[in-house]
Chains A and B, each alone.
Chain A
Amino acid sequence: MLSKNLDENIFRLEETFKDCGDLVSRKIPFAKTQNIFFYIIYIDMLTDRELIETQIINRLMHRINLDNKKDIPKYLFDEFKNYGMTTAEVKQTDKFDEITSEIMSGNTVLIIDGFPNALIVSTKQFPNRGIQSSQIESVVYGPKDSFTEGMRHNTALIRRRIRDVNLKVKQLKIGVRSQSDIALMYIEDIVRPQILEQIEKRINEINIDAILDVGYIQQFIDKSFKSIFPQSQLTERPDKASSAILEGRIVIIVDNSPFVLIVPATLATFFQSSEDYYERWQIMSCLRLMRYVCAIISITLPGLFLALTLYHPSMIPLKLVLKLADERSHVPFGSVVEIIMMELAFELLREAGVRLPNPIGNTIGIVGGIIVGQAAVDAGLVSPIVIIIVSLTAISSFSIPNTNFVSALRLLKYMIIIFSAMLGLYGFWLAILIILIHLSSLKSFGIPYLYPIVSGEVNNFNDLEDTFFRLPIFKMKKRPIFAQKSQSKRQGEKSDVLKQQ
């Protein structure tokens, strides 16, 4: 608790913030008096200095006139609080811990002599890189803005798109030392209360030093932590986050993270891109279907190639078999070694490309791909067909919009390769079955991961209209399973173009 004596409070604060070179503090005479002082304290570069100096210090020193007041001590704090600053957000507290926490959060604390209370003034202004275009989820048509590290910027980007009074921003502080600000955004009358409760409970149970990124939250709240499949969706696009909120999902925003988390998430949501809804439904349906095919290719192609060439060459058309045999006749390694070698080489190139600075990274990627691939074929280390298989696998994986999900597929492909190498087509199918069993058992906050491909009858198969393909916008009248049943309708009859005709 604070003391009435200002010097005692100053001593305590200076002891707490000892060796903090970025701390700014000053004891200032209040309102042209000589015997009454106030103390201001804040962290440099976390606050709006201009606001502090012009709207707080200036007012407190010069603009308030206490000369004619007889009972100065009694009304002093009220004068201090009501007329001392022109900011809207001012809180009062007497707890020392709260004061230190607010200082670390970028707010300014004011303490006046003779009163055991402090004022906390909102003066946050964190360094920010400004809104930029999306790096990972770029689209051809559609908004180009993306989230930034500032939580308030991110909530504003979503508020700009959903101007509904029911859009709530529930704030929490998680992280013993980091005291990271976390916001849950949802529409109160659409979201399922049970899911919201579950999420809040899981987040409040987090007891860790620091939350440095939303990825920490993702790992804490995903129930099946042993699964490589993400049960929540990361995005850097405000339009995607807004669309998710309108479907009844919840968006989790963490300060200092340019990504937000959307929960719950099913397999189908990882194949949806924002762009799907901005272009014509026929084109986007084909592209959506292609993504599913590409996902299957990205995990099964190398394994299937191995199974057929090693164990069942009779299944391959004769001309192709002869061609493959001819190409492989000069290669010293077995097919399994070839495939694994080239897959690992590609993974190395991919990782290197991510770490290198942009100008060099692109060049290295192209040069590495062409030279390593071509040189390996010329040297007779691998056959050309393997280069094609590996390239097709990689390109297919790039067509899936969510990188989190793609990472899971990248790992699974090796499992299928090993099974196919050991047991041919039998092993191939067993590996597929194991993956399908795992996916069938997975749930995201009570909703089956494979929904609506399985258990679609729960919502009368409505959700299939936006899974493998996308129906015209005016036909998508109902919200998905994530929303409350009472709010399942999202479009009126008048918007149906067919009925208008």
Chain B
Amino acid sequence: MFSSNNKISVRQLQILIMCNMLGIGIIILPKIFFGFSMLNMILLLFFILAAVYLITRVTQNYDGDNFFSYTQRIFGTMAAKIFSIMLMIKIFITTALQLKLFSQIIKIYVLPKTPSYIVNLVLIITAGYLVSKGYETRARLSEILIWLIILPLAIVFFITVFDIKNIPYDNANINLARTFEGIFIFSQLDYLFLCEPFIKKSSPKKIFEAIIFSWLAIFFLMCIIKMKIQYETFFPIIKLMTITDIPGGFVQNQDFFIISFVIITFFVLISSGIFFSSELFACINKKYKISSCCAIIYFICFISQNIFCNIIYILGTFFYFVFPLIILITNKKAGDKN
């Protein structure tokens, strides 16, 4: 029987991870890795799996506890608050950048005459409405949205897959730094710290499966993009969709599908950001957590993004690798002492 405990199943968590990864990965990675070898993608997978391994090792030790509770237990209340605020800032900035990127895409391809602040405002309000309904509702919605995300990708894949002669291995141009930066576009890695209290029964194996599946989908689509588009474009996947034509289709080209894909993907990303930042914000103010987070994210996205890139890299490196290592080492020392 269903309960009202606001918990989701591992399958729903997998879908949430795939929604996040597929969406942002498809839009951003082809642009980041343009001109570099596909080996960068393989290295990226390595970094992602390493980060996920560390994070899940931490969360498994504190099954059911939220981020603030277990950091409070290890480091004390003040340190827990500081870490929560740091993570919250990271999520605010990441989400605001995603929102900014989204408004740019909408401005170029969908609504050139509509001001960005209206586009952002409407999306933030809708995402806030979803967040107010709880994590279970988010998970249920993602079970429907995953099909809307996969559909345009599947269309492109099945139309162009037979054109792939071999996986592009044009050069061995590997850029480690660029690859490492690529990991920070995937925000759901730090969300893994925060989603533990909402899962009925955690399973790192299932999380790895979801990540590898998403990575494979992105990898193949990037192969197609590399073959079809020989010059650097703003958003290669959108360019790919505009040149892919289904003969006799009701729509002229696949703009319709890619725009739907973009809107839904960014909606999922931004609602995730608002949800998890509001969970952290609750340690400051529980009553207006969602509206406060929506307002903060909305205003941050009007600030120039250059300031934030470095903050994201620093905080991202800290929370993906350093912070879990510190916790694991602290736990090991505490275990040895006992």
Contact = CB atoms under 8 A, between A and B. Distances in A.
Interface of A: 192, 194, 311-312, 314-318, 423-427, 429-430, 433-434, 436-437, 440-441, 443, 446-448, 450, 453-455, 457-458
Nearest to B254: A315
Contact of B1 (A192, A318, A425, A433): A192
Contact of A457 (B3, B9, B249): B9
B141 A440 contact: yes
Nearest to B145: A436
29 contacts: A192-B1, A194-B1, A311-B110, A312-B110, A314-B255, A315-B251, A315-B252, A315-B253, A317-B249, A423-B111, A423-B114, A426-B110, A426-B263, A429-B263, A430-B123, A430-B263, A433-B126, A434-B129, A436-B144, A440-B140, A441-B133, A441-B137, A441-B140, A443-B2, A446-B1, A448-B2, A455-B143, A457-B9, A457-B11
B167 to A, nearest CB: 32
Interface string B237-250: 00000000000011
B17 to A, nearest CB: 16
A429 B145 CA distance: 11
Given A425-B110, A436-B144, A455-B140, 5 more contacts: A311-B111, A433-B264, A433-B267, A448-B140, A455-B143
Contacts of A317: 249-252
A318 B126 contact: no
A483 to B, nearest CB: 11
Nearest to A304: B256
A429 B250 CA distance: 19
Interface string B254-265: 011001100110
B306 interface: no
A448 B137 CA distance: 9
A178 B221 CA distance: 67
A151 B133 CA distance: 40
A265 B212 CA distance: 38
B124 to A, nearest CB: 11
B2 A450 contact: no
A312 B255 contact: yes
Contacts, number: 95
Given A429-B264, A457-B9, A315 B255 contact: yes
B210 interface: no
A233 to B, nearest CB: 19
A45 B250 CA distance: 65
B97 interface: no
B110 A424 contact: yes
A9 B106 CA distance: 82
A308 to B, nearest CB: 8
A436 B141 contact: yes
Interface string B147-183: 0000000000000000000000000000000000000
